[in-house]
Amino acid sequence: MHVDNTAAIVTGGASGLGAATAKALVDKGSHVFALDLPAACEAAGPAPDGVTYVPTDVTDEAQVRAAVALAAAGDPLRVVVNCAGIGPSARILGRKGVHDLGLYAKVVQINLVGTFNVLALASEAIARTEPDEQGQRGVVINTASIAAFEGQVGQAAYSSSKGGVVGLTLPAARDLAQYGIRVMAIAPGTVDTPMLATVSDDTRAALAAGVTFPHRLARPDEYAQLALAIVDHDYLNGEVIRMDGALRMAPR
């Protein structure tokens, strides 16, 4: 699928994986609407050329509807990449007691329900566009995690939410096939994003050493490169691709 002279939505688009993906799509000729929380958009400063920041809470249906309408108002909306997410850590039963139910619900609400909300509402807009000569209208790429398969100690909420994204992939692809919309997911390993900014150098080195090969953290631009490859490859659909350097997470 060609993305030049089209519109794209990238959630979590003000930083990390989302910002890298927005840049990559702009470089391919797409106008990107980067959805992120107001504070994140403000912290990012002026939007890069070709990117429009749209302050949006992905769990809010009305806000996402408005953002999708904005993105679909000009060039045809063809690509959606869901990168918005959070990853707090807490044990089910820890020194301070039982895992806070509100925290668990918040992680699932943002990472899974927010992903579904954007997927569904953006697909509605994509379905209204004219298909290309092969009947294609668009592609949605969601972000899972290798924690969906090998969740570590303290990742019950995060792994649950990302496991839900994995489980969503195939039925979403089947649901949306009649509209010419593909659905894929990327499951990154340890990526050098703002989520790791507070981690010590020693911890980062240990994380990098645990990767089978190459012995380093992944870069956000490598996620973006894979996202573009999925967009370009018309026969990829309904699948989750691990981007992890063959890393298999240990219990802790």
- 140 three-class SS: strand
Reported as a single tens digit per residue, the pLDDT across 154-164 is 999 999 999 99
Active site residue 158: yes
- d(C-alpha 220, C-alpha 204), whole Å: 15
Q: Please, what are the domains in the chain?
A: 7-242 (3.40.50.720)
Q: Which of 74, 199, 81, 177 is nearest to 127 (CA)?
A: 177
End-to-end CA distance of the chain: 40
pLDDT value of residue 194: 78
User: Which one from 53, 158, 179, 223 is the annotated catalytic residue?
Assistant: 158
Q: How confident is the model at residue 66 (pLDDT cuts 50, 70, 90)?
A: very high
13-22, 64-73, 201-210: the lowest-pLDDT one: 201-210
Cβ neighbours for 222, distance < 8 A, ≥ 6 positions apart: 191, 243
Q: What is the pTM of this model?
A: 0.96
How much of the chain exceeds pLDDT 90, in percent?
90
46 pLDDT band, cuts 50/70/90, is: very high
Higher-pLDDT residue of 103 and 193 is 103
Number of other CB atoms surrounding residue 9 within 10 Å: 31
Categorize the per-residue pLDDT at 174 as very low, low, confident or very high, splitting at 50, 70 and 90: very high
